[in-house]
Amino acid sequence: SQTIHQWPATLVQPVGSPLSLECTVEGTSNPNLYWYRQAAGRGLQLLFYSVGIGQISSEVPQNLSASRPQDRQFILSSKKLLLSDSGFYLCAWGGGGNEQFFGPGTRLTVL
C-alpha cells in the first residue's frame, strides 16, 4: 500500500532563515506530487505541483521554491523566510484515479 511521509512535523524558524521541508512517497511510481499551504483558519492554497523528476510548476508567486530530485521525493525550500510563510504545509500525491492523498503535514512557525 502507498504511504506518504513529511518531515519535520513541526518547525520554528526565525525570519530570514532558510527552509527545507521534505516529502516522500512509498508504494507507487511516477506520482503527481503537490505542495499546499494552509494558513490559520483558511483553506488550502496550491503552491507547486510536479508530474515528474525535475518538472515543477508554480501556482503562486512567492519566495518559496520546490524541487523533485527523485521520483518519489518532493522538497519545499526557501532561502529567506518571511513571517507570512507561517502555516501548515501539506504534501499530497495523486494516482491514476484523480484522487489526492495527503501527508500528515508540517507546522511551520516563523518568528
Give the residue carrying C-alpha cell 501539506. 90
103 binds other proteins (CB under 8 A): yes
Closer residue to other proteins (CB): 71 or 102: 102
* Residues in a beta bridge with 9: none
93 binds other proteins (CB under 8 A): no
DSSP for residue 96:
T
Closer residue to other proteins (CB): 42 or 80: 42
Q: If DSSP states are collapsed to H, E and C, what string results for 33-72?
A: EEEEEECCCCCEEEEEEEEECCEEEECCCCCEEEEEEECC
Q: Measured from the CB of residue 73, what is the shortest distance to other proteins in angstroms? A: 18
User: Which residues contact other proteins (rule: CB under 8 A)?
Assistant: 6, 32, 34, 42-44, 46, 49, 51, 57, 59, 90, 92, 94, 98-105, 107
